[in-house]
Amino acid sequence: MMTVLRSVLLFGLAALAEIGGAWLVWQGWREHRGLLWIAAGVLALGAYGFVATFQPDPHFGRILAAYGGIFVAGSLAWGVLVDRFRPDRWDYLGATLCLVGVAVIMYAPRR
């Protein structure tokens, strides 16, 4: 159980770093907030690259595939919390399907 909790927390941290980093770059470039925002985004994106290495599962492909689902749901959540985006039922359904995929890929019993 602790391994699953650790994995979920690491996925959350990875999402925060990647989505937040991309958002900072977006703000720096598209919203003309400047090079400091872009630099902070680049640093956050770099930090994201390291977070996955702390996952308990040793398979890079599995970690990255599962993280894809976290990224989808996390991006929608970021949009709601930061950009006041209003998802529709299809957004919610898609995110739910992605999170079910994460659970199957990462936490299904294996030998």
pLDDT given for residue 1 in this prediction: 82
pLDDT given for residue 28 in this prediction: 98
Residue closest to 102 by CA, chosen among 19, 13, 7, 2: 7
pLDDT given for residue 103 in this prediction: 96
pLDDT given for residue 110 in this prediction: 87
The model's pLDDT over 89-110, given as tens digits with 9 standing for 90+, comes to 999 999 999 999 999 999 999 8
Q: Which amino acid is at 69?
A: G
Helices (H), the chain: 2-30, 35-51, 60-83, 89-107
The model's pLDDT over 45-92, given as tens digits with 9 standing for 90+, comes to 999 999 989 999 999 999 999 999 999 999 999 999 999 999 999 999
The model's pLDDT over 1-52, given as tens digits with 9 standing for 90+, comes to 889 999 999 999 999 999 999 999 999 999 999 999 999 999 999 999 999 8
pLDDT given for residue 2 in this prediction: 86
Q: How far apart are CA 45 and CA 20, in angstroms?
A: 8
Q: How far apart are CA 65 and CA 70, in angstroms?
A: 9
3-state secondary structure of 27: helix
CA angle 39, 64, 49 (to 5 degrees): 25
pLDDT given for residue 18 in this prediction: 97
